[in-house]
Amino acid sequence: MVKMKRKENIEGCSVECTLNVLCGKWKGIIIFHLLKYGILRFSELQKLLKNIVTQRMLTMQLRDLEKEGIVSRHIYPTVPPKVEYFLTDKGKSLAVIIQGLNDWGSDYC
Amino acid sequence: MVKMKRKENIEGCSVECTLNVLCGKWKGIIIFHLLKYGILRFSELQKLLKNIVTQRMLTMQLRDLEKEGIVSRHIYPTVPPKVEYFLTDKGKSLAVIIQGLNDWGSDYC
DNA sequence: CAGGATCCGATGCGATACTG
DNA sequence: CAGTATCGCATCGGATCCTG
């Protein structure tokens, strides 16, 4: 459930709106780690996700988050290429929520 | 992205675990409304969702939430049938998170 | 009223291979 | 190293119809 953008807003409930940003495989963890480490290279993110995720998936999730204005990236024009990902202010504002999700998960899963 | 249960736990990150519970179309809003109203009949939930959701979908999401121990239901053996849904303690513990999601959505969407 | 049964399209997600 | 391109399946989710 990832790209299921919804335009209709259910009477003052913006819950789904936020979930649309967070739901998508690995997005939560990606933000979690970026909050923790600040800046991470593509390969570092992949390692943190224990190589469970394929490059393709990681790329897609990062692109989605970029579109939403949650993460941004800095590309070094070097060889071999080096790309760093970091949270935008909008992304950092998710800190409380991510922390809450993490805590709840620790308690109830 | 609803049934994508993940067993692997990424080094002390339980974020995805919670997202697995919340992600699924309408689950967030369902919990949001149950937090707000306490108890809701099937048909009341459907109206609150502005009839956007089909009975089938609403039923499925409620069954998922029930399996996770988030909601519970009380069936009145009457004709016509009457079924009430309400949050379990585990479900109520999501209040802070749901509120956070709602606030963030209001601010950034 | 609440919800089960079917059908069916959309897309989420994975595996694999290739490139500047 | 950090991607893009293809292929393919599983499942998510919508529409419709049926029932105790």
Domain assignment present for residue A18? The answer is: no
Q: Tell me which protein residue sits closest to nucleotide C10, measuring alpha carbon to C1'.
A: A4
Measured between beta carbons, the chain A residues lying within 8 angstroms of B107 are: 93
Q: Rounded to two decimals, what is the model's pTM? A: 0.90
Amino acid at B25: K
Take residue B93 and report the two structure tokens written for it: 């513990």
Residue A39, domain extent: 28-108
- Output the pLDDT for position B72: 98
* CA-based nearest residue to A20, from A47, A46, A1: A1
Rounded to whole angstroms, the distance from the CA of residue A55 to the C1' of nucleotide D3 is 8
Domain assignment present for residue B18? The answer is: no
Domain assignment present for residue B98? The answer is: yes
Rounded to whole angstroms, the distance from the CA of residue B5 to the C1' of nucleotide D10 is 13
- Point out the residues of chain A with pLDDT beneath 70: 1-11
Domain assignment present for residue B96? The answer is: yes
Number of domains making up chain B: 1
Domain assignment present for residue A93? The answer is: yes
CATH code assigned at A89: 1.10.10.10
Q: What is the mean predicted confidence (pLDDT) over B7-32?
A: 86
Q: What 3-state class would DSSP assign to B44?
A: helix
- Tokens 């479900």, residue located: B91
Q: Check whether residue A24 has its CB closer than 7 Å to nucleic acid strand C.
A: yes
Rounded to whole angstroms, the distance from the CA of residue B55 to the C1' of nucleotide D20 is 16
Q: What is the pLDDT of residues B61-80, one digit of tens each?
A: 999 999 999 999 999 999 99
**Between chains, do A16 and B28 touch, taking CB under 8 Å as contact?**
yes
Domain assignment present for residue A1? The answer is: no
**Between chains, do B1 and A25 touch, taking CB under 8 Å as contact?**
yes
Task: Write out the H or E segment, with its range, that includes residue A89.
Answer: helix A89-92
Q: What 3-state class would DSSP assign to B2?
A: coil
- Output the pLDDT for position A55: 95
Domain assignment present for residue B47? The answer is: yes
